[in-house]
Structure 1
């Protein structure tokens, strides 16, 4: 059914070329969308393993009948202590010519929140989107919104950050590398990670995807609110995450204690000269510090100039004590009519981000050829 112009309706497959073009214009400021992006939108929005006909992405239709706004919606299946929940994550939200449609974003968000899901979430709200959530009296969750950065090579980090706003800054990479080398040779190693001494309580090792998947399924049971993954659905999310290569190749790591018991796992992206990115980390509370140390050491050895990540409440105390910077970049917000569903989130005991959230998608931080 065609909605009247100027309204919000569910996304249809035939809308995807227009949505892809709007995405490129809003977030990439680049050439028209390529067919690969259209097919990717089709795969992630319509062929999602938890696709729900009643929980779909929304488009805003301009008075002229063209699509002028979009909010991506990723359905999810969560469980809370045996109770199955319908959930939905709000992904990319965009409006063309916002000054002409000042209420379009708010209408898209309201349409999303009025869906049949038990709980509505986002882990990637920018400052503008956060303002819209807050106008509805829905505050951000601080614990899951604490984005962080651990600098390893300061000059290289500065250049990487500068490149986000000025591509020409990449020509200064050799100078940054030389500068960081001088800093290290001068003995100013305050940014670098000290070598790990001896054998700790925990043994970390590179894992295969299958081994990592098994670890994720087992460790997820520690969280009262978590995805209702099975092996097939988790593999789909891992496939999507592995396809993101702008930040480098993903490294899958597993941790066991001295008795051979599984106690942790994490996956991060990294490449020489780039800023590594932690996608997901799960662990027993008593090994969080060793997980952070191993992550930093791995990123340093891989030649990363820094490593960053989104909010992992169970890692925050260890990050704070290891010269880590915290900043606001992407914000986490959750809403449910049944407020008891939010308690695990407020307590920092919910597995609802990264592979369990929406950061697996290539729409966040990746390019399309």
Structure 2
């Protein structure tokens, strides 16, 4: 809930309902008028080393937190107004989730911020507002340990598998340099990566385990967003809790995800059998043939080994040094068959709900969530 947050023109936004009347104090929906204040609060809370407010931050906040087709004041971001201004805020994106076929508007919580001691009281009010007894469903995939404890104290649950990222190295020395470049940007330079690439080539000739084995009877083909959309709907039907991804919402999510140019180009692939029938689908950010960040991977039930294996084989063949993605219970067995694999804890995946059926399904791992149905695509995690 305190997600450490991490356009080019902003994507077109649907018409918004009229703003709710501004009340003098207390917890209230965030309005577009609050964006300059919230942008400063975000920068102060999460980017304390920066002295200037990023010029693209305010437009990005408006695009993401007021642009969803499901946005309404009652299911969007909230702020605490102490009477003289906003002192704390929780940024939220509404997302439509199917619960045993019944649609529910859930809230993806992206940043919990407060302005020092003055904002602490407001933060407490906001936290109480989001307790399980009051919410259909709220979730976050980047919560800190302290925040995760607050979620549980408020009646929520932690999803341990979805709290992990898998990382598969294909060219390990280059992958290590890319990982280190987050602290030392020079490691991403051509002068460093080019010689490491030669050494990786020699290592790959000696270590066959660096090459993912292809799955028999299937191949990866380029796909359009429409083809991925068509496959995803039927492949998620086996989960009791899953994104609805109506066409307007899916298109909007792709448009805001594509704004994160720092992660690379958003790409789409299907895994098809020998007859050309799609048995799996995945979408990922690919950056300079260096890193592939898989947002979502789905498959027909029982085809996990083929789809996961062929996905890794394809990403290696395209020349990426490494690939990463959120862990999902249904595909863990297939992912664990890979060599040169590690798991990293980026943040706790937490959720609260007043509906016992949602909580029970989540604890049984009968849930599909993450990727586009999380904030993995957000520029707030990496920019500004």
Per the normalisation by structure 1, the TM-score is: 0.86
Residue number among 108, 119, 138 corresponding to 1:89 in the alignment: 108
The alignment status of 1:150 with 2:181, answered yes or no, reads no
Q: Name the counterpart of 1:72.
A: 91
Residue number among 326, 331, 334 corresponding to 2:351 in the alignment: 334
- Unaligned residue ranges in structure 2 (runs of 5+): 1-21
- Hey, what's the Cα distance between the residues in 1 that align with 2:55 and 2:311? 36
The alignment status of 1:345 with 2:345, answered yes or no, reads no
Which range is displaced more, 319-328 or 270-279? 270-279
- Within 5 Å, give how 1:38-57 maps onto structure 2: 38-57=58-77
- Within 5 Å, give how 1:3-42 maps onto structure 2: 3-4=24-25, 7-28=26-47, 29-42=49-62
- Hey, what's the Cα distance between the residues in 1 that align with 2:368 and 2:244? 11
Measured against aligned partners, the alpha-carbon deviations of 1:89-128 in whole angstroms (never above 9, x if no partner) come to 211222343x665565444333233685412212222334
Residue number among 174, 184, 190 corresponding to 2:201 in the alignment: 184
- Hey, what's the Cα distance between the residues in 2 that align with 1:45 and 1:332? 20
Pairwise CA distance, 1:56: 2.4
How many pairs align? 360
The alignment status of 1:162 with 2:180, answered yes or no, reads yes
Pairwise CA distance, 1:258: 3.4
Q: 1:191 to 1:71 in 2, by over 3 A?
A: farther
Q: 1:124 to 1:348 in 2, by over 3 A?
A: same
**Does the 8 Å contact 1:62/1:68 carry over to 2?**
yes
- Hey, what's the Cα distance between the residues in 2 that align with 1:128 and 1:217? 35
- Hey, what's the Cα distance between the residues in 2 that align with 1:167 and 1:61? 40
**Does the 8 Å contact 1:141/1:331 carry over to 2?**
yes
**Partner SS state of residue 140, structure 2:** strand
Pairwise CA distance, 1:54: 1.4
- Hey, what's the Cα distance between the residues in 2 that align with 1:82 and 1:285? 18
Pairwise CA distance, 1:313: 1.7
The alignment status of 1:224 with 2:245, answered yes or no, reads no
Measured against aligned partners, the alpha-carbon deviations of 1:66-100 in whole angstroms (never above 9, x if no partner) come to 43432111112222223232321211222343x66
- Hey, what's the Cα distance between the residues in 2 that align with 1:134 and 1:82? 26
Q: 1:291 to 1:27 in 2, by over 3 A?
A: farther
Q: Name the counterpart of 1:239.
A: 255
- Hey, what's the Cα distance between the residues in 1 that align with 2:266 and 2:349? 23
**Does the 8 Å contact 1:58/1:111 carry over to 2?**
no
- Hey, what's the Cα distance between the residues in 2 that align with 1:72 and 1:302? 37
Per the normalisation by structure 2, the TM-score is: 0.83
- Hey, what's the Cα distance between the residues in 2 that align with 1:79 and 1:194? 35
Pairwise CA distance, 1:236: 1.2
Q: 1:152 to 1:177 in 2, by over 3 A?
A: farther
- Hey, what's the Cα distance between the residues in 2 that align with 1:175 and 1:35? 32
Q: Name the counterpart of 1:292.
A: 308
What's the RMSD between the two structures over aligned residues?
Answer: 2.7
The alignment status of 1:315 with 2:335, answered yes or no, reads no
- Hey, what's the Cα distance between the residues in 1 that align with 2:344 and 2:208? 20
**Partner SS state of residue 54, structure 1:** helix
Q: Name the counterpart of 1:126.
A: 144
